[in-house]
Amino acid sequence: MPDSEPPPDASPTPTPSNPDPPTSTRRSTRARRAPNLPYTQSQTPQPTSNRRKRTRAESEVASDPEAAADEVDLSESSSSDDGDETPDEEEIKAKRKANKGKRAARGSGKRAPKKPRTGDGPKPRAKKTTGPKQKARTMSPEEQIEDDGSAVLFDEIMGAKNIDTVANAWLEKYTTDQSEAIKDMINFIIKACGCKTFVSQYDAQDQDSAAETLTNIQEQYARSSIQDYALVSKRPEVRKFRKQVMAFFASLVAHIEAKNLLFGEDTVLENIQNWVAALSSSTCRPFRHTATFVCLNIIEALCDIAGDVMKLNLATQRQLEVEEEKGRKNQGRIAQLKKKVEEGEGKSDAFEKLIKDIFDTVWVHRYRDVEPKIRADCIRKLGDWISSSPAIFFDGAFLRYLGWVLSDLSGNCRLETIKALQKIYENKDCTGGLRSFTERFRSRLVEMATLDSDVNVRAAAVELLDVIREIGYLEPSDVEEVGKMLFDSEPKVRKAVMGFFVKTVEDEYDSKVEDLGGADALEQFDTEDDSKGVKLSWLRLKCLVEVLGQGEADGNEDEGESQGVAEKTGDTGVKLGGWDSRISLAGEVLWEGFEEVQEWEEIAKYLLFDHSNPQSDDEESEDIEEKLRRICALTAKEESILLQILNASIRASIEAGSENPAHSVKKSHKKKDAKAVEEHAEQVSRTLTNYLPQLLKKFGAVPDALSTVLKLFQVMKLDVYQILRQETAYSNLVDEIGRQFLAHADESVLKETSMVLLHSNSFDDLKDVTGRKIESLYEDCVVRLMENVKGRNPTTTKFSDAALTDLINSVRRLDYLSTLASSTEVLESPPPGVSEKNKTPLQIIAGLLARAHSTDELEEELMVRTLKVVVWYFMWKIKTLAGTPPSEIADTDIDDLQDNRSEILTSISKTIESRRHRDLLLHPVTTASIHAFLDIHIHFATLRRTFDPQIAALNDDDDLSPISRLPTLAPPISESYQRVIHELFTKLEKRLATALGKNLPPNPPIPFTSPREESPEPDSSDDEEGQPPQAKKSFDHHVEWDRHHTLLLTRENALCELTGKLVLACLSGTLLPPRWRERLEFNKHLLGAGFRGIVDHLDQKRMAELREKKEQAKSRGRKKKEDGEHKSTEMVESDDEEPDVDELDRELEEMEKEIEEENEEDRQEEEEKGEEDKENEEDKAEKEGEKQDGEGDVEMEDA
């Protein structure tokens, strides 16, 4: 590799320098033949303003310190496109400018003999000579051969069953008719590019005009509308193009070498390379990509042959050494072997020189091409060459390219680099020479494993670092940093880091074994059959929880600073619950690769084991069992972690249908083996009945551990208690769960307890027991609520902090119970045994709502919880009323409902108004109040839809019927409150846009009949916090990214929740649909797919079509099932099968994708319209300059 390459910067990411002014010579001093390019450096046109912008962007895409030494890339990059399905941007502009040139020629009445210019690339000029000037040869229509059989080689290669025959036939043709064979080869490449204009035999003979000939072909190609070519096409006829081309050139180079045509003057490869090198620098991506691919395969074929030559040289060298060591030396034999060695070394040097010459001619320029696919191909091949031909390519001069591309903007290029490096690191012969490279780029590899935006890159980087760790090139801090990726949100990354993490645990285990006296001492200790003693397998679990505890502590060190309302519900009143813990996510992955995690019964026994037995004070006098007992003792934190691992292990076992991952039921066979999975889940549930009561008793006093134990109930088939005739045991278990619900105020315990009761209520045989327990809990909570008030006015009384905490806990429990069963009867009548006969629980709750004037944290928490209880009450009340026959609805029922609605909405309205004027619109209490305000109006709007047909059927005599008054309870929201809602919606939009790093368009439509000026948006104190990572000065740790990601999710959730309520309000008529729909759709394409999907529900017609298509898909599935039943009556299992859910889901996803594509097309049309306007202005500004250039060219041609 030449030493003239500029060294990289100190950072892993090389920064390109600006190219030098055009000169006629190259800066590099490397001695090699320059390729015949369509234009020289001195003829490269200066970029226009529009092209300068693209050049800057593209130089950043393919950043490299050698940019100053490459005179081709900057000029060619402006015409390369970024996609496969659309033509290059420069090709489109080239076509547009070509048409302009034609119109200008027709308008002047004088046709210039010169070909029209295009925007594809620079204008070709004649070389400077001392003789008379020769005009550039333009292909005539007769010479622009269409696809009339000129590209026969393409058809032969694609249809060949024996590729060696094709390669040998082409070489035979070359020896007899060189120009015809070269023509076939070039036309093969041209046709592979999708071009239908080919070269003639005359062009193939004239090597000097190759660049100009190809330029003419490119102009013809630019005028066409070709968007596809063989390398990227998915058409069946070219699906095996890559494989066939690789085989062809491997065979061709082998035949060339066998016939001694590889070296010398005017060789076969040299003639091919003249054209291929020119095509590889084309401004058209298909030409550039295909030619580069051909060149890469030629190098690979040369490497294979060079490798064979080197192996033969080594064998000859060994023979020579053996002959020289003999006592009686055969001088003739030695001389013959020495000559053979010299010839072999000379041949190896010739191969190396030829390979490096092609490498420097093409690869060095194309590995930083603007097209990611070309860059990825180059990197992939370089990795193969370093692995297969280390004698040539295993050198720092080539390895540095892989290090530089680690910072490529394309995720696919970074992924290919990681894969290439993994091959090299796995080659034991190369590990010694990789120390320097590892030291230089190790930090970048760790950064990619922890922070890369591409999931596949992160997973591959973790696997690569695992290999580097085995070699011993990773620092302990790097090992710890990568090990934390076991808690990553992506399953693929967690699975990739599993092996890395398990080896870390093994290191910890080996350390503890040494502390116990070594493996020999432990071999004598075997208590696996002793069910009462400590077990050796627990030591590995102990190491596991210790390592997990370290990662969990680092991940949670900045969490949980306060337990106030803002922290619990997010910064906008949105509660982000229902997520699995980090340990549970890690446990699901460890179940597949950690043998001890699969034995969930052993984990349960370990947790129930009593470690408090008396131990010897003198550790030196302890025997092996006592030492093991002491080391295996778990702390409270470690017990909590191990409980979560137990939960993950049981879940994974039930989902897999087996205790062992090797015997798990595949997802594709879940339907077929549903019975086996069901039986396994039932067996696990039977076993759990022995452990859960003990776990509940032991960890009932610890909220974190208790919430994890309660999660185990949710994976059980609780009807096993009925099968096992253990109804009493189940009743006692439910009573214990109810006691825990009343004894704890922790949010996680209340949530998991309610989830257990909800899960229990899903089993028909257990509904009676569960229903009675829910009613009992309701009564206990209401009694506690009324005892907390103690006859005082709930609105004006100043409660102590302890009394407020009790009130909050009572209301919080009512909130969770309201998710399980109706709360109307409990809240509308005082509980038995309570002396306050004049007040109902609902009246007390309504009085608590009026306390919203205070900004105390406990008062705000009480307000948020009370609002939720009120919304649940109205939902259950209206549902009950809708299911009641009209004749059974009394006036008193309507009066009570109207009074309750009026009182509660008045309190909520006062809260909204008071906090809005104090600039507290984004405060959780205000946001929760607006949500409750909308929910109540939406619930009452359902009364209109339910009773409108019955009201319309009433006679004149029935006008006084109670149900005729129901529509008066569902009026639209007044304009004053619509303004408040719109103001909150606008603020949430701006906050999410800030977190996304986007700017929203100004002047959104106002959904009011008489719009007035909105209050100015105050500067948010946490706008800086909401900036995306690109706006920060530095994000040098993944925790910063996690914080930003959490903030982004919180703000997106806040906006989506409010938007969902606004969509329901529009559909129910609570808000004016046309005006609000226009406002909601204004920023639909800027704020994420979740927001866009919610707003799309405003289009009821489209959603109805979607539902109809889904029903049609289901009916097709049922019909297919019935047809199957008619065809065969022997398939008993299929009789009870439902339609293929996976197929229905795929069809539904396709429909949703169509809707998404339509929305995306609308957005792109808007963007393209703006870009076209901008381009028109730029074209107008460039028009005069281009016109002057054209007139000057005409004058030169006339002269």
pLDDT attached to residue 408: 92
Q: Is residue 1150 part of a domain?
A: yes
Residue 3: pLDDT band with limits 50, 70, 90: very low
Q: Residue 33: pLDDT above 70?
A: no
- Is residue 619 very low, low, confident or very high in pLDDT (cuts 50, 70, 90)? low
> Residue 349, exposed/middle/buried by CB under 10 A (0-12, 13-18, 19+)?
exposed
CA triple 902-969-1079, angle to 5 deg: 95
End-to-end CA distance of the chain: 47
Distance CA 788, CA 795 (A): 13
Q: Is 867 within 8 Å of 932 (Cβ atoms)?
A: yes
Torsion of CA 476, 482, 484, 490, to 10 degrees: -170
Instruction: Report the alpha-carbon distance of residue 526 to residue 535 in Å, rounded.
Output: 8
Q: Which residue has the higher pLDDT, 669 or 337?
A: 337
Same domain, yes or no: 784 and 835: yes
Choose between 1001 and 1024: higher pLDDT.
Answer: 1001
Tens digits of residue pLDDT in 621-634: 567 778 888 888 89
Token pair for 683:
């067996």
Which residues lie across from 198 on neighbouring strands? 145
Residue range 144-161, pLDDT digits in tens: 334 445 678 888 888 888
pLDDT at 1009: 62
The per-residue pLDDT for 595 is 86
Task: Examine residue 289 and state whether it is found in any structural domain, yes or no.
Answer: no
- Residues 429, 464, single domain; the answer is yes
Question: How many whole angstroms separate alpha carbon 156 and alpha carbon 244?
Answer: 10
pLDDT: which is higher, 910 or 583: 910
Pick the range with the lowest mean pLDDT from 225-229, 386-390, 1120-1124. 1120-1124
**509 & 658 share domain:** yes
Instruction: Retrieve residue 493's tokens.
Output: 């990354």
Residue 747 in any domain: the answer is no
Alpha helix (H) residue ranges in 281-330: 285-325
Res. 404: pLDDT tops 90: yes
CA dist 482 and 501 (Å) reads 8
In a domain, 681, yes or no: no
Mean pLDDT of 238-249: 89
DSSP labels, 79-119: T--S-SSS--HHHHHHHHHHHHHHHHHHHHT---SSPPP-S
- Is residue 1075 domain-shared with residue 1109, that is, in the same domain? no
The DSSP H or E segment spanning 479 is helix 476-483
Q: What per-residue confidence (pLDDT) applies to 1158?
A: 58
CA atoms within 13 A on the CB side of 732: 11
Q: Is it the case that residue 201 has pLDDT exceeding 70?
A: yes
Greater confidence (831 vs 820) lies with 820
Least confident of 184-193, 421-430, 872-881, 1119-1128: 1119-1128
CA-CA-CA-CA torsion sign (743, 745, 749, 753): positive
Task: Report helix, strand or coil for 1062.
Answer: helix
Q: Based on the fold, state whether residues 509 and 653 are members of the same structural domain.
A: yes
Residue 555: predicted pLDDT: 52
Closest CA to 847 of 802, 806, 906: 906
Most confident range, picked from 267-276, 851-860, 948-957: 267-276
Q: Say which residue, 1148 or 152, is predicted with more confidence.
A: 152
Q: What is the mean pLDDT of residues 689-709?
A: 91
Per-residue tokens: 719: 């009807």
Q: Say yes or no to pLDDT of 538 above 80.
A: yes
Q: What is the rounded average pLDDT for all residues in the chain?
A: 75
Instruction: Please indicate, yes or no, whether residues 558 and 640 belong to a single structural domain of this protein.
Output: yes
Q: Has residue 561 got a pLDDT over 60?
A: no
Q: Please tell me the least confidently modeled range out of 424-438, 820-834, 1184-1198.
A: 1184-1198
For 444, the enclosing helix (H) or strand (E) is helix 435-451
Please calculate the CA angle 26-31-33 and round it to the nearest 5 degrees. 80
- The answer, yes or no, to whether residue 19 has pLDDT greater than 50, is no
The DSSP annotation for 1121-1147 comes to HHHHHHH-S---GGGGPPS-HHHHHHH
**Position 1198 confidence tier, pLDDT thresholds 50, 70, 90:** very low
What are the pLDDT digits (tens) for 721-758?
888 888 899 999 999 999 999 999 999 999 999 999 99
Give per-residue pLDDT as tens, 443-473. 999 999 998 989 999 999 999 999 999 888 9
Tokens of 233: 């096409």
Q: What is the DSSP string of 970-1037?
A: -PPPPHHHHHHHHHHHHHHHHHHHHHHT--PPS-PPP-SSS--PPPPPPPPTTTTTTS-GGGSS---S
Report the phi/psi class of residue 86: left, alpha or beta, with left for phi > 0 and alpha for psi in -120 to 50: beta
Task: Decide if pLDDT at 1 tops 50.
Answer: no
Boundary (domain end) residue, out of 968, 993, 1021 = 968
Phi then psi for 715, rounded to 5 degrees?
-100, -5
- Give 1025-1054 pLDDT, tens digit per residue: 455 444 333 334 455 666 777 888 889 999
Whether 587 and 648 have beta carbons less than 8 Å apart is answered as yes
pLDDT band at residue 302 using 50, 70 and 90 as cut-offs: very high
Q: Are residues 463 and 527 in the same domain?
A: no
List beta partners, residue 145: 198
Closest C-alpha among 867, 978, 972 to residue 926:
867
Range with lowest mean pLDDT among 142-151, 234-243, 1107-1116, 1134-1143: 1134-1143
For residue range 467-487, what is the model confidence (pLDDT) as tens digits? 999 888 988 888 888 888 888
At 156, list the tokens: 């032969």
Domain span at residue 1036? Answer: 976-1098
**Which amino acid, residue 732?**
N
pLDDT level of residue 99 (50, 70, 90 thresholds): low
Burial class (CB within 10 angstroms; exposed 0-12, middle 13-18, buried 19+) of 801: exposed
Residue 224's pLDDT band (boundaries 50, 70, 90)?
confident
Do both 1114 and 1094 map to the same domain? no
- From 419-423, 851-855, 891-895, the region with the lowest mean pLDDT: 851-855
Please report the DSSP string for 854-902 in residue order.
---HHHHHHHHHHHHHHHHHHHHHHHHHHTS-GGG--HHHHHHHHHHHH
- Tokens standing for residue 521: 């001492």
> What local confidence, expressed as pLDDT, does residue 1031 receive?
38
Among residues 474, 504, 533, which one ends one of the domains?
474
Across 940-948, average pLDDT: 79
Confidence of residue 618 (pLDDT cuts 50, 70, 90): low
Select the highest-mean-pLDDT range: 197-211, 866-880, 1087-1101. 866-880
Shared domain for 533 and 643, answered yes or no, is yes
Question: Can you give the pLDDT at residue 220?
Answer: 81
Residue 1087 lies in a domain: yes
Report residue 113 as tokens.
Answer: 């003999």
Same domain, yes or no, for 489 and 522? yes
Residue 518 reports pLDDT greater than 50: yes
Rounded mean pLDDT, 67-73? 37
Cα 760 from Cα 771, distance rounded (Å): 9
Q: What share of the chain is helix, strand, coil (3-state, %, to 5)?
A: 70, 0, 30
Asked whether the predicted pLDDT for residue 50 surpasses 60, the reply is no
pLDDT tens for 637-694 read 999 999 999 999 999 888 887 666 655 555 545 554 678 888 888 899 999 999 999 9
pLDDT band for 113, please (50, 70, 90 cuts): very low
Does residue 1185 have a pLDDT over 70? no
Closest to 1139 in 3D by CA, of 1113, 1159, 1165? 1113
pLDDT at 21: 37
Report the half-sphere exposure of 1105 (CA within 13 A, side-chain side).
Answer: 8
**What average pLDDT score do residues 1152-1162 get?**
56
Q: Are residues 1001 and 963 in the same domain?
A: no
Q: What is the pLDDT of residues 1063-1122, one digit of tens each?
A: 999 888 888 778 888 889 888 888 888 898 898 888 877 777 777 776 776 666 655 555
Percent of the chain having pLDDT more than 70?
69
Please indicate, yes or no, if residue 112 is contained in any of the structural domains: no
Number of domains making up the chain = 5
Query: Which range (39-43, 146-150, 305-309) has the least confidence?
Result: 39-43
* Kind plus residue range of the DSSP H or E element containing 759: helix 747-760
**DSSP states along 19-83:** PPPP-SS-S----SPPP--SS-GGGPPPP-HHHHHHHHHHHHHT--GGGGG-SSHHHHHTT--S-
Which pLDDT tens digit goes with each residue over 271-298? Answer: 888 888 888 988 888 999 999 999 999 9
pLDDT score for 129: 38
Residue 471: half-sphere exposure toward Cβ, Cα within 13 Å: 21
pLDDT tier, 530 (very low <50, low <70, confident <90, very high otherwise)? low
Residue 20 burial class via C-beta count within 10 angstroms: exposed 0-12, middle 13-18, buried 19 and up: exposed
From residue 267, alpha-carbon distances to 54, 171, 175, 272 in Å are 39, 12, 11, 9
What percentage of the chain reaches a pLDDT higher than 90? 27
pLDDT above 60 (res 1140): no
Residue 656 lies in a domain: yes
Give the least confident one: 711-720, 914-923, 1152-1161. Answer: 1152-1161
**Alpha carbon 370 to chain centroid, angstroms:** 24
Tell me, yes or no, whether 557 and 656 share the same domain. yes
| 691 in a structural domain | no
The answer to whether 184 touches 272, Cβ cutoff 8 Å, is: no
- For residue 23, is pLDDT > 70? no
